[in-house]
Amino acid sequence: MSLPYVRLSGFYFFYFALLGALVPYWSLYLKSYGFGAETIGILMGLLHGTRIVAPNIWGWLADRTGQRLRIVQMGSLVTCLVFVLIFWQEDALGIGLVMLGFSFFWNAVLPQFEVITLGHLGDKRDRYSRIRLWGSIGFIAAVLLVGWLFDWISVRWLPAIMLAIMVMIWLNALFVTAPEKEAAQRDSGDGFIKLLLRPQVLAFFAICFLVQFSHGAYYTFYSVLMESIGYARREIGILWSIGVLAEVVIFVYMHTLIQRFGLRNIMIVSLMLCVLRWLMIGVWPDHLVLMLIAQTLHAATFGTLHAVGIALVHHYFTERTHGQGQALFSSFGFGAGGAAGAIASGFLWDEIGSTSTFAISAAAAAIAIVLAWVWIRPEKVQQNP
């Protein structure tokens, strides 16, 4: 069966376009209701929090039944239906409940689609980054367009924009076909815990947690910080897009980098750059040149670390447990780590200030460097023990 490149790439494009509308601007949308930093931090944490539970439930179900594509399609549809309720919410409780509802299904979709993509690629998994980069392009397009729009219209239009993108995700999912082996990839769950409890695998998931914890202040308050020191929303959108453009470039060359330097070395260097990036944003947010440099480091703090993470999950887990492995990768990192980072930054932002909050982000990444240096040696772990 030929690779459905356009359909796979299209899904990533719209999925991350939704992130491009949500991540930079949702905190500004919440701020428009007069919510304080703590409330915004908690609400943003809800988006990450559902990733702790949802991907694991749907990952287990997908590995158990083999109906991975159907789960992606139904999850995309229910995401749209639940999110419609946002148009009737104006208080923190109502908005929070809708965020919990739609993100429970939305966060279940991507880990299973990753497995579908890798299933289509077969032994050509090095082409993954060439497909995934279209997600980054979608993010850039949404960040720039939405940022430009919000210089002309109210940020209260954000839910309508997001709903339109959600519908496109669902429609695209309807045209994706299942890999030939999907029906046969069913798992009873035997052996998954044994694979998970290996020390190197536990250290890997701890690193995933710390990396996303360190991103908490950035994803939650970067736009708020930039706006507070005088950047226009269009300029904020450009800064976000520069980061993701750097991510696109790194995805193009990721296969070559992995072959030349190896997963371990790329992870350690990327974590070091993560520390540098948070310190730059925390100390010099008003220096445009330094902010441009800090944003290009997104290629390392997200791009390379995400690609390395996907590769290590595929390495650490067997074919029949890839769904649960990818779900756990999402849960520990984007779920638990992202939620903890968002909530912690919400409580710290007004108490200790932006500089100290980003210093804590840098410290979390520094701890991850130590774990990676000691434990991440993938050549010593067999894929199928």
Write down the pLDDT at residue 45: 84
User: Quick one: how many helices (H) and strands (E) in the chain?
Assistant: 16, 0
Quote the radius of gyration of the chain (alpha carbons, Å).
20
Q: Strand, helix or coil at 177?
A: coil
Residue 90 CA: distances (Å) to CA of 26, 32, 33, 48: 14, 10, 7, 21
What is the C-alpha separation between 99 and 89, in angstroms, rounded? 11
Write down the pLDDT at residue 24: 85
pLDDT in tens, 325-358: 877 887 887 778 888 898 899 899 989 999 999 9
**Residue linked to tokens 């309720």:** 85
By the 10 Å C-beta count (0-12 exposed, 13-18 middle, 19+ buried), 151 is classed as: exposed
What is the C-alpha separation between 148 and 150, in angstroms, rounded? 6
Residue 10 CA: distances (Å) to CA of 111, 144, 226, 273: 16, 19, 31, 30
Nearest alpha carbon to residue 135 among 251, 3, 255, 295: 251
Write down the pLDDT at residue 353: 93
**Low-confidence spans in the chain with pLDDT less than 70:** 1-3, 123-126, 181-190, 380-385
What is the C-alpha separation between 18 and 110, in angstroms, rounded? 12
In sequence order, which residues have a C-beta less than 8 Å from that of residue 31 and are 6 or more positions away?
40, 224
Token output for 53: 């539970």
Nearest alpha carbon to residue 22 among 242, 240, 279, 318: 240
CA angle 22, 26, 29 (to 5 degrees): 145
8-380 carries CATH number 1.20.1250.20: yes
Write down the pLDDT at residue 244: 83
What is the C-alpha separation between 96 and 38, in angstroms, rounded? 13
pLDDT in tens, 357-367: 999 999 999 99
Rounded to 5 degrees, φ, ψ at 230 are 110, 0
In sequence order, which residues have a C-beta less than 8 Å from that of residue 249 and are 6 or more positions away?
299
